[in-house]
Each structure stands twice: as structure tokens, then as C-alpha cells.
Amino acid sequence: MTDTSTTTQETVREHGVSLTEAAAQKVRNLLDQENRDDLRLRVAVQPGGCSGLIYQLYFDERFLDGDKAEDFDGVEVIVDDMSVPYLDGAVIDFKDTISEQGFTIDNPNAAGSCACGDSFH
């Protein structure tokens, strides 16, 4: 006899963007350096660049109508509702190696990007 009273809990996500531990740690360090605890990490997609769309990644103290929020170990990541479909499944990481330094966005929705890596379509 199967026990059907057991249910699985699913986490309802506001947006599909993920933040790695390395990226979350870097964001926390940057906020600590600025002595700010009122800022969120905003991720957005805007028209522009040579491939059609560009990523925007910046600190924001505002929470606008339609914004979707997720907390990643104390780092709140905000995505506006227009950007959510373009960023669903995207992973933000931080690299600090001899050949790379900075935030990276691995986006499964990007069909292609420009040579400089700043824009996508």
C-alpha cells in the first residue's frame, strides 16, 4: 500500500535567476566595503549592444512594481518582470582567476552573443 499522505514541498521561485556562492560572497563583500545593507542586486535585460540585448547588473535601493525577488544567502536579487523571460535559468557567477575577473552570466536563453560578450540575442 502506497502512502499518499506524504507531499513533496516545491519552492516557488519569483524569477529563474540563480546566484552562485562565489557571486553571493563577492556581492556581500562589495556591500560591506560600502557599508550598505539597503541595496539589492538588480539584473535586467535592455535593448542595445551589437547583438540586440545587453545585460545590466547593478546595485539598487529601489523595489519597483513588478519586480521579482529571490534571496541567496543574504543577497537579494531583483529582476524586473519584463526581463524575467529572458533570464529564466540564468546563473550569475563571479570569477577571480589570472585570466578572468568579474561577474559572468550563463544564460541558456541566449541564442548567440557578440564577440566582446557584452550583448546577446
Confidence (pLDDT) at 4: 45
Domain assignment present for residue 69? The answer is yes
Tens digit of each residue's pLDDT (9 = 90 or more) over 16-53: 999 999 999 999 999 999 999 899 999 999 887 666 78
Domain range holding 61? 18-115
The residue written with cell numbers 585570466 in the block is 99
Domain assignment present for residue 72? The answer is yes
Domain assignment present for residue 6? The answer is no
Domain assignment present for residue 47? The answer is yes
Helix (H) or strand (E) run with residue 33 in it? helix 21-33
Domain assignment present for residue 9? The answer is no
Domain assignment present for residue 8? The answer is no
Domain assignment present for residue 94? The answer is yes
Domain assignment present for residue 49? The answer is yes
Report how many domains make up the chain: 1
Helix (H) or strand (E) run with residue 94 in it? strand 91-96
**Whether the predicted pLDDT of 13 surpasses 50:** yes
Tens digit of each residue's pLDDT (9 = 90 or more) over 79-107: 999 999 999 999 999 998 888 889 988 88
Q: What is the CATH number of the domain that holds 92?
A: 2.60.300.12
Whole-structure pTM over 0.95, yes or no?
Answer: no
DSSP 17: -
Confidence (pLDDT) at 52: 76
Confidence (pLDDT) at 15: 84
Strand-pair category, 119-120 with 18-19: unpaired
Burial class of residue 112 in the structure, from the number of CB atoms within 10 Å of its CB (0-12 exposed, 13-18 middle, 19+ buried): exposed
Confidence (pLDDT) at 112: 62
